[in-house]
Amino acid sequence: MSQKQGPRRVELVTKVLAANERAAEDNRRRLREAGIVLIDVMGGPGAGKTALLEATIPRLAAARRTAVVVGDIATANDGERLAATGVPAVQIVTEDMGGACHLEAGFVAAGLDRLDLGALDLVFVENVGNLVCPAEFDLGHHARAVVLSVTEGEDKPLKYPLAFRVADAVVVSKIDLLPHLTVDLGALRANIRRINAKVPIFELSARSGEGLEPWLDWLRGIRGS
Ligand SMILES: Nc1nc2c(ncn2[C@@H]2O[C@H](COP(=O)(O)OP(=O)(O)OP(=O)(O)O)[C@@H](O)[C@H]2O)c(=O)[nH]1
Ligand SMILES: [Mg+2]
């Protein structure tokens, strides 16, 4: 990049983030007025975000009226999977809006527009599968969880630190696969701790249900603003 482009690019990025911050504040106000908690679920492609929500939503059903806003670059596959849990699910396809590799607060606002907020306590956002960009955008959420599957490698928290730094919880997913892998779970935990010393870590399997209860307890404990 030439020196000429540098400052202009910085200015543009600053404007994009400032516009996002205003939209995030609007979301926060709307959610506060409706008494809704918003939880953003991030993670790389295939980490198990949708599977985690498919396992989580029915188990919270008695305690929380839940809906989901899910972002993908293309397809409504995840929206259809999540709607099958019986809760309202809004699919955001970013290809229709420039192909963003993350959700922005304005996209989430468009998702909230399509929900009956008066009939909800909890909205999950499943962010676009990406361990980098989603972490840069405030959505007006109350908490953020990053999902990392045991097949992705112990070093990922060190290589993609921002997602782990901004996370309020880390879900280590697919632990049912551990007998087939050589992954060092101790090293993975230590790497998460190097980036975020105090973050709660939930090791679980959406497939077998093992380890889900502490994650559900954490979710139940999140309060709105
Ligand atoms: N064995 C096992 N497989 C899982 C588990 N969770 C998810 N998977 C599988 O991992 C693959 C990806 O799962 P998804 O839930 O689609 O992952 P995702 O993070 O939502 O993917 P994107 O939204 O495309 O980024 C699928 O084949 C799932 O069946 C689990 O706990 N155990
Ligand atoms: Mg998904």
> What pLDDT is recorded for position 170?
98
By three-state DSSP, how is residue 179 classified?
helix
Run of H or E including 7: helix 5-34
Which protein residues are within 6 Å of ligand 1, measured from CB?
43, 45-51, 78, 129, 173-174, 176-177, 205-207
List Cβ neighbours of 218 (8 Å cut-off, separation of 6 or more): 169, 200, 202
Dihedral of CA 179/183/184/190: which sign? negative
Ligand of minimum distance to the alpha carbon of 73: 1
Q: How far apart are CA 54 and CA 69, in angstroms?
A: 13
> What pLDDT is recorded for position 167?
98
Q: Which two tokens stand for residue 75?
A: 């397809």
Mutate to test the pocket of ligand 1, among 174, 178, 210 (most ligand atoms within 8 A of CB): 174
Q: How far apart are CA 22 and CA 14, in angstroms?
A: 12
> What pLDDT is recorded for position 1?
45
pLDDT 10s digit of each residue in the chain, 225 long?
A: 444 567 777 787 788 889 999 999 999 999 999 999 999 999 999 999 999 999 999 999 888 999 999 999 999 999 999 999 999 999 999 998 888 999 999 999 999 999 999 999 999 999 999 999 999 999 999 999 999 999 999 999 999 999 999 999 999 999 999 999 999 999 999 999 999 999 999 999 999 999 999 999 999 999 887
Q: Which two tokens stand for residue 224?
A: 């709105």
Amino acid code (one letter) for 156 = K
Mutate to test the pocket of ligand 1, among 41, 42, 50 (most ligand atoms within 8 A of CB): 50
> Which DSSP string corresponds to 69-114?
EEEESS-SHHHHHHHTTTS-EEEEEGGGGT--SS--HHHHHHHHHT
**188: exposed, middle or buried (Cβ count in 10 Å: 0-12, 13-18, 19+):** buried
Question: Closest Cα to residue 137, out of 33, 7, 27, 5?
Answer: 27
Which residues does residue 69 pair with via DSSP β-bridges, in sequence order?
90, 125
Which residues does residue 39 pair with via DSSP β-bridges, in sequence order?
124, 143
Q: What are phi and psi of 207, to 5 degrees?
A: -75, -50
Distance (angstroms) between ligand 2 centre and the Cα of 11 equals: 33
> What pLDDT is recorded for position 191?
98
Distance (angstroms) between ligand 1 centre and the Cα of 87 equals: 20
Read off the DSSP letter of residue 201: E
> What pLDDT is recorded for position 12?
76
**224: exposed, middle or buried (Cβ count in 10 Å: 0-12, 13-18, 19+):** middle
> What pLDDT is recorded for position 57?
97
Residue recorded with tokens 């990049």: 1
Provide the H-helix boundaries in 103-142. 105-113
By three-state DSSP, how is residue 78 classified?
helix
- Predicted TM-score (pTM) of this structure: 0.94
> What pLDDT is recorded for position 51?
98
Q: How far apart are CA 117 and CA 122, in angstroms?
A: 9
